[in-house]
Amino acid sequence: MNKTILCIGAGYVGGPTMAMIASKCPDYRITVVDINPQRIAAWNSDDLPIYEPGLDDLVRETRGKNLFFSTDVEGAIRDNDIIFVSVNTPTKTFGAGAGMAADLQYWEKTARQILENAQSSKIVIEKSTLPVRTALAMERILNSQANGISFDVLSNPEFLAEGSAIWDMENPDRVLIGSRETDRGRQARNAILEIYARWIPRERILTTNIWSSELSKLVANAFLAQRISSINTISALCEKTEADVAEVARAVGMDSRIGAKFLNASVGFGGSCFKKDILNLVYLCRFYGLEEVADYWERVVGINVYQQERFIMSMLTAMFNTLAGKRICLLGFAFKANTGDTRESPAIFIARRLAEEHAEVVISDPKALGNARLDLAKIDGVFHYREDPYEAAKGCHALAVMTEWDLYRSLDYEKIYEQMDKPAFIFDGRNILDHKRCFEIGFNVYPIGKPPLTHFEV
């Protein structure tokens, strides 16, 4: 095994992407390092730090053979000449650009660490999502010492979605590699292309200039989030007009120019990236003096807040304008199904707002209760945690579906209804339940973007 790869950052991206490369390229030795020793210990255990369908098998197949997790960042930099960097790039919380710009401190620290420890030339690959033109800063830092070592910086953004990460990496719509259009740039690009070409058809591997690659990642997330905000605005109009948002989405999405995906109206989008990447795009536009462009994209985030607030107002209005002392069960806390990740989950917003209304909140989720506890630790309110949805719903006045976990589609809602306070309500923030059936059982049902089904006289 003479080819080696290093990945700095063992998170939701670093761990799974490297496990996939290890599985597809058995002749490469792959090391994943992180400054967080607990995370590395978890990657080396039977209890991986993240839940992702298929990931356990992939790691079991490769770990200890050609995939290694370690905290020795410095040693690993010395030993590897191809370095992927997938450290976190959250929204800045301080100083200029707070709440908007990307916080690049982890990124820059990594660049300096590479420079300090490198004893041979390296290819450094941006796997993290970064503002356009970050590669230039990276190049300037890396090439700041005349030590005879050269660094080539590439952009190779990741497009996997959580919950389907393994499938996404195995069958990507495209892999994007951006490089400098120089001989060295092209050579570096080919070294990475060779890795992906092991399992991805060549026509799906796109090569572009480095700035297009960096920007495409931000734009892809912005477009995806924009579709959700667009359909969510229409859900509000549907609720006023007795149109059904699912029927509208279907009719609109069957136009092949529009396409059917990402048109599910919901309580709002969550996840660690949509909001942060759009805000980053907005910040960049403002930086370049493009105020109108910035305003346009900022509304996508604004509508997402509006949709979550609308959900709370619909609960409040339906439940006779007071939630104080009422017990509300949140079915799901993860930001989407098949993950334990709760970053920016709409459930956090809803739980906080319910607590502000002095409701008692019972949280149920098959994979995210640990993260839910951390998210709500600093929020004032009464929160209970019950993995079993039947236990969670007992004695509640309302159920609110926050995550589209399959298990919620097939619960025994008759049994749940019997053990709830009456009148009992369902607020389906994902439109996954059989609303007519729930209504027949006795629930007052409030979907998103569809007429409510209630037992009250109007």
Q: Which is nearer to ligand UGA, 31 or 232 (CB)?
A: 232
Q: State the SS3 of 175-194.
A: EEEEECCCHHHHHHHHHHHH
Evaluate the omega torsion of the peptide bond into residue 423 and state whether it is cis, within 30 degrees of 0: yes
Site of tokens 């709002």: 268
Q: Which of residues 237-276 bind ligand NAD (CB under 6 A)?
A: 272-273
The minimum distance between CB 109 and ligand NAD, in angstroms, equals 4
14 binds, among ligand UGA, ligand NAD, none (CB under 5 to 8 A by kind): ligand NAD
The residues with which 122 forms a beta bridge, in sequence order, are 151
Q: Which is nearer to ligand UGA, 80 or 89 (CB)?
A: 89
- Kindly state whether residue 156 participates in binding ligand NAD, applying the rule CB under 6 A: no
Rg (CA), the chain: 24
Name the active-site residue from 7, 238, 273, 285: 273
Indicate which single residue of 8, 192, 218, 392 sits in contact with ligand NAD (rule: CB under 6 A).
8
Q: Which is nearer to ligand UGA, 268 or 360 (CB)?
A: 268
Indicate which single residue of 5, 12, 153, 270 sits in contact with ligand NAD (rule: CB under 6 A).
12
Q: Which is nearer to ligand UGA, 122 or 336 (CB)?
A: 336
Contact, 363 vs 383, CB < 8 A? yes
Q: Is residue 209 helix, strand or coil? A: strand
Contact, 311 vs 429, CB < 8 A? yes
Cα separation, 235 vs 403, whole angstroms: 18
Residue 329 appears among annotated catalytic residues: no
266 binds, among ligand NAD, ligand UGA, none (CB under 5 to 8 A by kind): ligand UGA
How many helices (DSSP H) and strands (DSSP E) are in the chain?
17, 14
DSSP-assigned letter for residue 102: B
Indicate which single residue of 6, 7, 10, 118 sits in contact with ligand NAD (rule: CB under 6 A).
10
- Kindly state whether residue 213 participates in binding ligand NAD, applying the rule CB under 6 A: no
Order of all β-strands in the sheet with 82-85: 67-70, 28-33, 3-8, 82-85, 122-126, 151-155, 175-179, 205-209
The minimum distance between CB 114 and ligand UGA, in angstroms, equals 23
Indicate which single residue of 128, 216, 308, 338 sits in contact with ligand NAD (rule: CB under 6 A).
128
342 binds, among ligand UGA, ligand NAD, none (CB under 5 to 8 A by kind): none
Q: Which is nearer to ligand UGA, 41 or 260 (CB)?
A: 260
- Kindly state whether residue 89 participates in binding ligand NAD, applying the rule CB under 6 A: yes
The residue ranges of DSSP E strands in 180-336, in sequence order, are 205-209, 327-331
Kindly list the catalytic residues: 273
